[in-house]
Amino acid sequence: MTSVELSGRVALVTGASRGIGYGVAEAFVARGDRVAITGRNEDALKEAVDRLGADRVVGIAGKAHDLDHQAEAVERTMAAFGRLDFLVNNAGTNPVFGPMADLDLNVARKVFETNVVSALGFAQKTWHAWQKENGGAIVNIASVAGIAPSPFIGAYGVSKAAMINLTQQLAHEFAPRVRVNAIAPAVVKTKFAQALYEGREEEAAASYPLGRLGVPSDIGGAAAFLTSEQSDWVTGQTLVVDGGIFLNAGVG
């Protein structure tokens, strides 16, 4: 149970049983929003709901790319809370590591399906269910890999670049009622990124001007800003949240 006063706003955050999505849900709950979260593993989702507060959070299990799951997630959010102000497209995948020259194209399709097409599917359904008439905001969790090439995660980077363009397309189409922005994080300490820093965190953090890797609450704070009145004149943008790592570009 939380004692924070209700904001009257409702959010749907995909892929939020742990990691960045959980950090976003936590930031929203902390300001009084009611939140629906998704994820594939039902037990993990239930644990997350209990930790966030079952009085204000519901979990809807399913795979982000599954059209029936998308419809169910939006319908159940509306049924539970009666509105749907904010959508955070966070669920994403990066299943391969290696050169583009040898990339299995079926894997490339899967990456696009989960990272880009799913985000569009959730945005369409949220638009028709609530936002078209009532307004709101969408935040897409992209990546710095969508802005500059990242060796050996090419398909992922291309999908995140597409997500950034999708953000602009939707921002244009959904204006003026709905603002659509993206967040491009660098390495955030989650299960997803573990291989990039495990056993060598100090070394990995040393290349960041701000001296540390990201944590989910860093992205939660950015998502809270992009779904608040403080960003009322911001749409179509990609907020880079990277501990300053891009400042290193050109140093050589």
Ligand X SMILES: NC(=O)c1ccc[n+]([C@@H]2O[C@H](COP(=O)([O-])OP(=O)(O)OC[C@H]3O[C@@H](n4cnc5c(N)ncnc54)[C@H](OP(=O)(O)O)[C@@H]3O)[C@@H](O)[C@H]2O)c1
Peptide bond into 176 cis (omega under 30): yes
Q: Which two tokens stand for residue 228?
A: 């608040």
- Please say if 22 is a catalytic residue: no
In terms of C-beta density within 10 A (0-12 exposed, 13-18 middle, 19 or more buried), how is residue 78 classed? Answer: middle
Q: Is 131 in the site for ligand X (CB under 6 A)?
A: no
Nearer to ligand X by Cβ, of 177 and 193: the residue is: 193
Nearer to ligand X by Cβ, of 7 and 30: the residue is: 30
Output the CA torsion sign for 150, 152, 154, 160: negative
Taking the C-alpha atoms of residue 182 and residue 185, their distance in angstroms, rounded to an integer, is: 10
Q: Which of 25, 74, 91, 180 binds ligand X (CB under 6 A)?
A: 91
Q: Which of 27, 58, 193, 245 binds ligand X (CB under 6 A)?
A: 193
Q: Which residue among the candidates 22, 156, 197, 208 is catalytic per the annotation? A: 156
Q: Which of 87, 187, 223, 239 binds ligand X (CB under 6 A)?
A: 187
With CA atoms as reference, report the closest residue to 180 among 229, 128, 226: 226
Burial call 217-247: b when 16+ CB within 10 Å, e when fewer:
bbbbebbbbbbeeebeeebbbbbbbbbebee
Contacts to ligand X from residues 47-86, by CB under 6 A: 63-64
- In whole angstroms, the minimum distance from the beta carbon of 53 to ligand X comes to 17
Output the CA torsion sign for 237, 241, 242, 243: positive
- In whole angstroms, the minimum distance from the beta carbon of 79 to ligand X comes to 20
Q: Which of 38, 131, 181, 238 binds ligand X (CB under 6 A)?
A: 38
Q: How many residues bind ligand X (CB under 6 A)?
A: 29
Nearer to ligand X by Cβ, of 131 and 140: the residue is: 140
Q: Is 157 in the site for ligand X (CB under 6 A)?
A: no
Nearer to ligand X by Cβ, of 41 and 134: the residue is: 41
Which residues does residue 97 pair with via DSSP β-bridges, in sequence order?
none
Nearer to ligand X by Cβ, of 109 and 132: the residue is: 109
With CA atoms as reference, report the closest residue to 15 among 128, 110, 108, 140: 140
Q: Is 224 in the site for ligand X (CB under 6 A)?
A: no
Q: At residue 199, what are phi and psi to the nearest 5 degrees?
A: 80, -5
Largest CA distance in the chain: 55
Q: Is 36 in the site for ligand X (CB under 6 A)?
A: no
Residues that bind ligand X (CB under 6 A): 14-21, 38-41, 44, 63-64, 90-93, 114, 141, 143, 185, 187-188, 190-193
Q: Which residues are catalytic?
A: 156
